Amino acid sequence: MKVVQFEEVETVRRSPRGREGSLEVKMLLTGDEDRADNFSFRWTDTDDNIYSPRHHHNFEQFTYLLDGETDFGNGMVLKAGQLIYIPEGTYYGPLSMPAHRRLAVQFGGPSGSGYLSQEGTTRAHRELQETGEFKKGVYHPNDDAGGKGSQDSYEAIWEHVRQRTIVYPEPQYGGPIIIAPENFPWEPVGGMDGVHEKALGTFSSARTRAAKYRLESGTKFVAAGRGLFVVLSGEGRVEDQGYAELTTVYLDDGEEATFLAGDETEIVLLGLPSLARIADEPPQLRVSV
C-alpha cells in the first residue's frame, strides 16, 4: 500500500513527451517497470494548445476529468466528473483539447505488453531529439538517421527504449468507453453502513474495475483490490495518515486500506489489473513465410 498526499508532490511545467502543447503535471505514483502491470498515475492541468494525431497504444488508460471538457476524437467528448477507459490497441483522436484538469493512469493491459517507465520515456525523448524532430505528435527522423520514416511519437519512443518493433495487441473493444457516473445511482455497500457505491464496470479479460464511493461522515470504508483510490472531496483518515482532496491510496493485490471519513467523502477507484490476469508473453511480430 502507498498513500500519496497531493500537495506534497512537485508540480512541473513541460510539454507532453513527443506531443504538441504544454501542461503542468504532478507524477503522483508509478509502478514497477520490470512488471507487466507497471503504471503511471498523474494529475495534469492542461493548456488549450495540446494536439495529438489519431493513434493507439499498447497499454491501457483511465482518465477522470476534474473540470473543463476535452475531446478524444470522432465526436467523443469527456465532461467534468466523467471517466473514459481507453483499452489497449484501440484508436482514438485526433485530440485538440480545450484547457482542463484531469487524473490519468496509464497501465500495462491484458496483452502483457507492459508500460514504459517515465525515466525511460524521458531519456528516449531526449535522445531522439538528437536524430530527428517531434512535431504535432509525430516523430520525423533526420534524413541521415536511417531506419524508419516518420511515426507516432510514442511509438518512436517505445521502439527506442525497447530496441525492437512495437507490436500492438488486437483490441478487445471497438473503441474507448465514456462513462457518465452522474447517471449511475448510488447503492449501499453491504456490511459497511453509510458507504455507497456506483459500480461503473469491469473491463477487458484482465477484469479491470472502475467505481465511485461515497462515505457519510463518521463512517468506515475498507477498500480492497488492486487499484488507485483517489479522494475527490472530503477529509478524514486512511490507515495512519490524514486524507484530503486528491490524496491517493494505491493497493496491490490482496491489500486493504481502511478510510475513516471525517466529513462526507467521495472517492473514485481507477482499477488496475492483477498480474494473474495479464498474459505472460506480449504479442509477437508476425513473420511472413
Partner 1 sequence: MQVVIAPEAEVQVQSKGNDPRPGATRRQILVNELAPDGLNFVFYRSTYQAGDDAFVTPRHHHGFQQIRWTEQGEVNYAPGQSIREGDIAYFPRGAYYGPQEKEQGVAWLIQFGFHGEHMYGPAWWDSRKEAMDRLKAEGEFRDGYYVYTDSETGQEVRRDAADALHSTQFEIHSGRPFSIPPEGYDAPILMHAKNFGAYEASPGVNIQPLGNFFDHPAPSGDVRFSVVTVTSNGRYVLDPERAQLGWSLDAGLVIDGETYPELTAFYSPRDEKVELSGSDLGVRFHLVELPRLD
Contacting partner 1 (CB under 8 A), which of 37, 155, 159, 197?
Answer: 197
Near partner 1 by CB under 8 A: residue from 81, 120, 141, 171? 171
Specify the pairing of strand 151-152 against strand 177-179. Answer: unpaired
Among 164, 185, 254, 289, binds partner 1 (CB under 8 A): 185
- Which amino acid type is present at position 166? I
Q: Is residue 202 part of the contact set for partner 1 (CB under 8 A)?
A: yes
**Cell triple for 240:** 495512519
Tell which residue, 147, 202, 213, 149, has the closest CA to residue 177: 202
Residue 216 CB burial class (10 angstroms; 0-12, 13-18, ≥19): middle
199 touches partner 1 (CB under 8 A)? yes
Which residues within the stretch 75-104 sit at the binding site for partner 1 (CB under 8 A)?
76, 89
Look at residues 269, 221, 259, 285 and name the one whose alpha carbon lies nearest to residue 64. Answer: 269
CB nearer to partner 1: pick between 260 and 279: 279
Of 57-76, which residues contact partner 1 (CB under 8 A)? 76
* Residue linked to cell 502483457: 112
- Distance of closest approach, residue 205 Cβ to partner 1, in angstroms: 4
Q: Which three cell numbers stand for residue 95?
A: 485530440
Among 47, 184, 245, 264, binds partner 1 (CB under 8 A): 184
Q: Is 225 in the site for partner 1 (CB under 8 A)?
A: no
Q: How far apart are CA 64 and CA 86, in angstroms?
A: 12
Q: How many residues bind partner 1 (CB under 8 A)?
A: 36
Residue ranges in contact with partner 1 by CB under 8 A: 76, 89, 110-111, 169-175, 177-187, 190, 197-207, 277, 279
